[in-house]
Structures are given as C-alpha cells and as structure tokens.
C-alpha cells in the first residue's frame, strides 16, 4: 500500500493550471466544451476524470489522456485501499 494520499485530479487541474494562469472554471469549462457544473465537480473532488474527460484535458491542458486517467486511478485506488479490510473479501485457496 502506498504511504501517501495522492491528490484528486481536480486539485492538480486547479493547482497547476487554473490558479497560476488565473483561468476561471467557467473559462476552462468552455474550452473543454463541458458544463461549468461538470468541471466544478471534478475541481472540487466530487467528480471523476472519465476517459472522455481525459482526452479533453489532454487537448486543452497537455499531457496524455493516459496520464490524466493515471491521476484518477491512483487517487481511486488509494481511497479504496484505506478500507479494503472492510470489503469482506477472502483469498481463494487454489489446489
């Protein structure tokens, strides 16, 4: 298990692109051709980067779609790892 809490992709977008460039969520949403609500949910950590959004982010901000998906998967996996013992899953015994 990783020993750190990776940032949500929304934190990355906000901290590395929107805040330094003073671009608003509304302006970014227009450039991405998504609703302000959709982008705001991601920025605030309440939405996920989907494959389609990863392509949009890649075009608008740079980086590969795979890197944007990687941010999301890394975040999601870390979150699930925090309660994996509560999942009630047991290892299969293979003969």
Looking at residue 87, what is its pLDDT? 95
Residue 28 placed within a domain: yes
The answer as to whether 87 is a domain residue is no
- Position 63 scores a pLDDT of 95
Domain that holds residue 18: 9-82
| Cβ-contact 43, 78 below 8 angstroms | no
Domain holding 34: CATH number?
1.10.260.40
Residue 2, domain member (yes or no): no
Cβ atoms 75, 8 nearer than 8 A: yes
Give residue 15's pLDDT. 97
Query: Which pLDDT tens digits describe the chain residue by residue (95 residues)?
Result: 566 899 999 999 999 999 999 999 999 999 999 999 999 999 999 999 999 999 999 999 999 999 999 999 999 999 999 999 999 999 999 98
pLDDT value, residue 95: 80
Is residue 34 a contact partner of residue 53, using CB atoms and an 8 Å limit? Answer: yes
CA dihedral 60, 64, 66, 70 (to 10 degrees): -80
Report the domain count for the chain.
Answer: 1
User: How much is the pLDDT for 2?
Assistant: 63
The answer as to whether 4 is a domain residue is no
Q: Is residue 91 part of a domain?
A: no
| pTM of the complete model beyond 0.95 | no
């Amino acid at each position: 298990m990783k020993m750190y809490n990776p940032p949500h992709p929304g934190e990355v977008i906000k901290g590395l692109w929107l805040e330094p460039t003073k671009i608003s969520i509304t302006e970014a949403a227009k450039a991405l051709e998504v609703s302000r609500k959709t982008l705001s949910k991601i920025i605030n950590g309440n939405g996920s980067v989907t494959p389609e959004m990863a392509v949009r982010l890649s075009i608008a901000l740079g980086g590969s779609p795979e890197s944007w998906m990687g941010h999301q998967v890394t975040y999601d996996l870390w979150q699930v790892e925090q309660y994996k013992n509560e999942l009630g899953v047991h290892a299969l015994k293979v003969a």
